[in-house]
Amino acid sequence: MKLSIIIINYNLSAEIEECIKSLQQVLLNITDFKWEIIIVDNNSPDKKLPEVENRYKRENINFYYLPENVGFGKGCNYGFTKASGEYICFLNPDTIIKQNIFSPFLNLLNNDKSIGIAGPKQQIKRPFFDFSAGFSPSIIFEIINLFGAGVFIEGLLVFCLAKIKRNKLIKVNWILGACIFIKSELFKKIEGFDKDYFMFFEELDLCKRVSDKGYKIIYYPEQSIHHIGSVSGKRDYRLYTIRTYSSKKIYISKHYKGFPGLVFKSLLFVQLFSQIIIWSILLPLNSSKSKQKISAFIYLIKHRMKYK
């Protein structure tokens, strides 16, 4: 088996079905290597995935059901235990594959042993931002984030780099977890995704640990997928926000010690107050989302950015 595609589901059976359809259209035309698709269900309350399984289960398309929601990283780790591929592609359920991105990435990882993780461009809503990849957290970005703009500045930098490099390979610090490629041997060597993350920042942590081993993290914007993005998050902005910030604090605590870590945590905590101000201003434009966001930031302040 050359390639194992691992997808984690939580209440996204409709998106999973569209994802599988698109994968089949591409993969069935590939004859130079064997592939498999592994879908892991995180105890979805809607219980609709078995309907999709009845329509799509094949010898190389398998479904697994966990008794509890263990989060994205642990779900991926479980899927990996069922995988036989030399290479792994972790893919979000809310993605559509419109071209053969698999052969180019397998060739890339096979031909350059110094590359540890690689990923494609993901469709974005606006043409001037690219959130497919990025750089390590910095004091400057965290200060800009006090005004809610850090992520957009980073996205603009990645967009400009892709233009300058003419969509060729770009060395970055992380690839968005909606679609990442890694060799099975390396994923096993670093013991998979860190179990301390339930959701969000687990891909940054994975890329950081792979990078610390001396491997490069490569963004390949010439290859692209359609990624809807944040489908689950849009159903509950409050929980989405709480998990994002609590996971970011875990990431900073693990990888930034001493004075730098203290500065990062302090700026992150101040951001909670600045975000309350920003979303209070935006309240008349989107009342429901703003109220959920404000509630989330108040929760994070009270619990010191820990999710209980």
Which residues, 6 or more positions from 191, have their beta carbon under 8 angstroms from its beta carbon?
none
**CA-wise closest residue to 14 among 43, 51, 39:** 51
Within this chain, do residues 161 and 210 fall inside the same structural domain, yes or no?
yes
Checking if the pLDDT of 230 tops 90, the result is no
Within this chain, do residues 193 and 286 fall inside the same structural domain, yes or no?
no
**What is the CATH classification number for the domain harbouring 14?**
3.90.550.10
In a domain, 58, yes or no: yes
Within this chain, do residues 122 and 71 fall inside the same structural domain, yes or no?
yes
In a domain, 307, yes or no: no
- Residue 2 CA to residue 32 CA, distance in Å, equals 10
In a domain, 84, yes or no: yes
Burial 22-52 (b: 16+ CB within 10 A, else e): bbeebbeeeeeeebbbbbbbbebeeebbeeb
pLDDT band at 303 (very low <50, low <70, confident <90, very high): very high
Within this chain, do residues 49 and 66 fall inside the same structural domain, yes or no?
yes
In a domain, 149, yes or no: yes
pLDDT attached to residue 102: 96
- Residue 171 CA to residue 166 CA, distance in Å, equals 14
Within this chain, do residues 207 and 292 fall inside the same structural domain, yes or no?
no
- Residue 23 CA to residue 2 CA, distance in Å, equals 16
Q: Total structural domains in the chain?
A: 2
Which residues, 6 or more positions from 133, have their beta carbon under 8 angstroms from its beta carbon?
119, 158, 170, 172, 174, 175, 176, 217, 219
Within this chain, do residues 217 and 245 fall inside the same structural domain, yes or no?
no
Strands (E), the chain: 3-9, 35-41, 61-65, 87-91, 95-96, 115-122, 133-134, 170-172, 174-175, 179-183, 216-227
pLDDT attached to residue 31: 84
Q: Mean per-residue pLDDT for 179-188?
A: 97
Checking if the pLDDT of 99 tops 70, the result is yes
* Mean pLDDT score across all residues of the chain: 92
Within this chain, do residues 277 and 204 fall inside the same structural domain, yes or no?
no
Opening angle at CA 211, ends 75 and 120, nearest 5: 65
- Residue 70 CA to residue 67 CA, distance in Å, equals 9
In a domain, 308, yes or no: no
In a domain, 198, yes or no: yes
Within this chain, do residues 158 and 270 fall inside the same structural domain, yes or no?
no
The tokens describing 117, both together, are: 């993780």
The tokens describing 124, both together, are: 């974005």
Within this chain, do residues 185 and 285 fall inside the same structural domain, yes or no?
no
pLDDT attached to residue 177: 92
Q: Which domain holds residue 91?
A: 3-231
Between residues 167 and 148, the one the model is more confident about? 148
pTM: 0.92
Contact assessment for residue 73 and residue 197, using Cβ atoms and an 8 Å cutoff: yes
Q: Mean per-residue pLDDT for 75-91?
A: 97
Within this chain, do residues 248 and 226 fall inside the same structural domain, yes or no?
no
Domain boundary among 202, 231, 260: 231
21-73 pLDDT, tens digit per residue, is 999 999 998 888 999 999 999 999 989 999 999 998 888 999 999 999 999 99
Burial 142-152 (b: 16+ CB within 10 A, else e): bebbbeeebee
Cβ neighbourhood burial of 87 (10 Å; 0-12, 13-18, 19+):
buried
- Residue 41 CA to residue 228 CA, distance in Å, equals 19
Contact assessment for residue 227 and residue 122, using Cβ atoms and an 8 Å cutoff: yes
Q: Please, what's the largest Cα pairwise distance for the chain? A: 56
In a domain, 185, yes or no: yes
- Residue 113 CA to residue 5 CA, distance in Å, equals 21
